[in-house]
Amino acid sequence: MTYKIFLIGLLTLQMWTGIAGKKANTVLVNVLDPQYYGMENGGTGWYFYNQTFWSVTSEKAGSGTYCLKYTNAATAAATYKALIGSASNLGSLINIKAGTYTMKIKVYIDPAAEITGVATVFRPAFQNVSWSFASVAKGEWVELSQQVTFAADLVDGSMLVQMATTYGGKGTLYVDDITIMDAGTVARAPLPLVSEIKTVDTARISLSADTYDISLKVFVASGSTINSFYTALAEPCTVVKWDLSQVARDAWVTLTAKFQLDIAADSSVFMIQIPNNPEFGGGTGLLYVDDVHIQNAVVDRVVAVNSAPRVLIYPNPASGFCTIETDVPCHIQIISPAGAVCKSENSTGGKFLVSVKDLAHGIYMVKLNSAGLSTISKLQIK
């Protein structure tokens, strides 16, 4: 039995830190996580010293679904604070170099409000950035902007949003889309954790339980920093890693490997995957893949089989705890949407309970390593 898959076209790989080969269209890049500072995770990570006055709401939004809300029937009698930035929500911490940045916020002032401004305060230096509403229209979303200079690096910092007595504080105010724009940085395209192509529904693969040879041709362009990629069957989850570190550049090269199916694949999706994070083999440059062949291996003695660990994750989506079930001892990593390793554990195989209470909402990558082979799965935190 032989399967031949033609992959026509070219994969343009984008590096985790930017767009490969694209130098034009320089823009400002937001260094604050919009899930926290745009409130799009529903308020996770925010702490309100005065819950009577501050909250996260879906009543209005400058963009997305949620925003920060301040409301008070009377003039502010003290300074009322809302805090974002803590070690329990790593994406909420602020880390920026000393320098001058463009800071922006969106505000919606209720027409009946008697509020003349609001303050943002960066800790631990307690640098105050005041926002005046003197000429801001009421009853509509308005974006405010100003230059902010940090004299020293802000490391694992946090931010207060404050309503002080000097701003009046009577009425309702909405705040959204708090950003700090890094001037002069090359535009970064939002990248998924993994770039992949897969077979269409009419070209799915069915294989009996057996040992198989897989071969393919690759052309790695000169200057490419892509170190590896994966081929995979979706069900049963079977992954083969292809190392490109020693492959000649600017030439077609045939690579071969083996994999084993302990259970049959019935109309399974075949995928080619490349992690966008260079830490896991991604990089910049061009990679061509063609002439993928899968055929039964001739086995007349024990052969080494490249069989990645299989994994079952449940519940998925998860909120408090999830179970990661594997068939072999392995090293488990849970990687955030930003590419950071959030959890790193060793499993002896079987069922392994993992707490995800401290993880923000989003799609995470679960990477299992065993005997030099890897399996990558997705985990949704809600």
How far is residue 100 CA from its own chain's centroid? 27
Cα-to-chain-centroid distance, residue 301: 44
**How would residue 337 be classed by pLDDT, with cut points 50, 70 and 90?**
confident
The single-letter code of the amino acid at 283 is: G
Q: Among 263, 258, 326, 252, which residue's Cα sits nearest to residue 289?
A: 252
Residues 206 and 156 in one domain: no
* Number of structural domains found in the chain: 3
Confidence of residue 17 (pLDDT cuts 50, 70, 90): very low
Average pLDDT over residues 311-325: 86
**Digit-coded pLDDT (tens) for 39-55:** 988 988 899 988 899 99
Tens-place pLDDT, residues 211-237? 888 999 999 888 888 888 889 888 888
Where is pLDDT greater, at 305 or 260? 260
Answer yes or no: is 303 within a domain. no
* pLDDT for res 206: 86
How would residue 200 be classed by pLDDT, with cut points 50, 70 and 90? Answer: confident
Among the three residues 185, 207, 238, which one is the final residue of a domain in this structure? 185
Q: What is the pLDDT of residue 23?
A: 38
Top pLDDT among 107 and 330 is at 107
Of the ranges 65-74, 241-250, 313-322, 372-381, which one carries the lowest mean pLDDT score? 372-381
Which CATH number belongs to the domain containing residue 331 in this structure? Answer: 2.60.40.3080
Residue 317 lies inside a defined structural domain of this protein: yes
Q: Which residue has the higher pLDDT, 358 or 8?
A: 358
In this predicted structure, the answer to whether residue 147 has a pLDDT above a threshold of 70 is yes
**How far apart are the C-alpha atoms of 225 and 164, rounded to whole Å?**
52
Phi-psi region of 336 (alpha: psi -120 to 50; beta: other; left: phi over 0): beta
> Looking at 97-251, which runs of residues are DSSP E strands?
99-109, 117-123, 127-132, 141-150, 154-163, 171-185, 194-198, 205-207, 211-220, 228-233, 238-243
Q: Taking 70 as the threshold, does the pLDDT of residue 10 lie above it?
A: no
Beta-sheet strand order (sheet of 311-314): 311-314, 321-326, 350-355
Q: Which residue among 240, 270, 296 closes a domain?
A: 296
Mean pLDDT (the chain, rounded): 83
Distances (CA, A) of 145 to 99, 115, 122: 16, 18, 16
Distance CA 48, CA 289 (A): 53
Separation between Cα atoms, residue 61 and residue 55, nearest integer Å: 13
Closest CA to 370 of 312, 311, 297, 316: 311
Domain membership of residue 347 as a residue range: 311-381
Evaluate whether residue 203 is within a structural domain: yes
pLDDT band at residue 138 under the 50/70/90 scheme: very high
Task: Give residue-wise pLDDT tens across range 55-84.
Answer: 999 999 999 999 999 999 999 999 999 999
Shared domain for 36 and 181, answered yes or no, is yes
Q: Is residue 137 part of a domain?
A: yes
Tokens linked to 334: 């849970």
Region 114-140: what's the mean pLDDT?
95
CB 89 within 8 A of CB 36: yes
Q: CA-CA distance, 373 to 228, in Å (whole number)?
A: 12
